[in-house]
Amino acid sequence: MIVIKGLKKSFGPKCVLNGINLTIPKGKTTVILGLSGGGKSTIIKHIVGLLKPDEGEVWVDGEKIEYSDEEQILRIRKKVGFLFQSGALFDSMNVYENVAFPLREHTGLKEDAILKRITERLEMVGLKPNEVMHLFPDELSGGMRKRVGLARTIVLDPQIILYDEPTSGLDPITSDLISQMIISLKKRLGVTSVLISHDIKESFKAGDYFAMLYDGKIIETGDAEHFKKTKNPYVRQFLDGKSEGPIHFRSVE
């Protein structure tokens, strides 16, 4: 579904991505692991055209992204849902208006159809529509904001969902709930998912395939069993959570 070839990106003198090669299989959840500041967000921002590579190619659904072609990038973005780390809700809009926003921007649906779609999507992410539609973001808990953000992400029925640290800042119970929703949406909607995270426990719950980003490159790929048995010292250190020996992750995403 997504193929990344030789992707390089620097910010000033800092080389953040140094030749990324990665294939994201269709209908599965691929987790990109790495510490904060390692460049994970930089990868997914290239997938939706928010960043332009210095070198390399990104293919989405068999189509090479031409970063100078705004019409093509907009077309690709309609296939992709992006759940930002913060949820990225509009503070001045209530839950209904937040989730309705993409429908009003990109479809000609009438209000009764919009209401029906919003109700369905809120229920999909474990929220009771009649109890939350009128609430504003500052009236929601962190976990509820993430779920409303996810409802907005899936309201246009994307083929691909990109999750940017979806469990960051959440308690263990809410983090588990988010992971279960990622699994459920993959099954119910058949979406291809890319999850970037440094939360090892939740990543192994939700992920089908894994890629380890270190020093600007993907140094290991495989399924959960492969990663748990790997002898790669950098991956092993990350998974074990030990600080023995220097591993210097870059500080720009």
Distances (CA, A) of 55 to 28, 136, 223: 27, 42, 28
Residue range 27-50, pLDDT digits in tens: 999 999 987 788 999 999 999 999
DSSP annotation of 225:
H
β-bridge pairing 209-214 and 29-33: parallel
Q: What is the CATH number of domain 2-79+158-240?
A: 3.40.50.300
Q: How many whole angstroms separate alpha carbon 116 and alpha carbon 29?
A: 28
Pairing mode, if any, of strands 55-60 and 63-64?
A: antiparallel
Q: pLDDT digit string (tens) for 159-217?
A: 999 998 888 878 888 888 888 888 988 888 889 999 998 788 888 999 999 999 999 99
DSSP state string for 6-67 = EEEEEETTEEEEEEEEEEE-TTSEEEEE--TTSSHHHHHHHHTTSS--SEEEEEETTEE--T
Instruction: Delimit the domains of the chain by residue range.
Output: 2-79+158-240, 88-153
| The model's pTM | 0.85
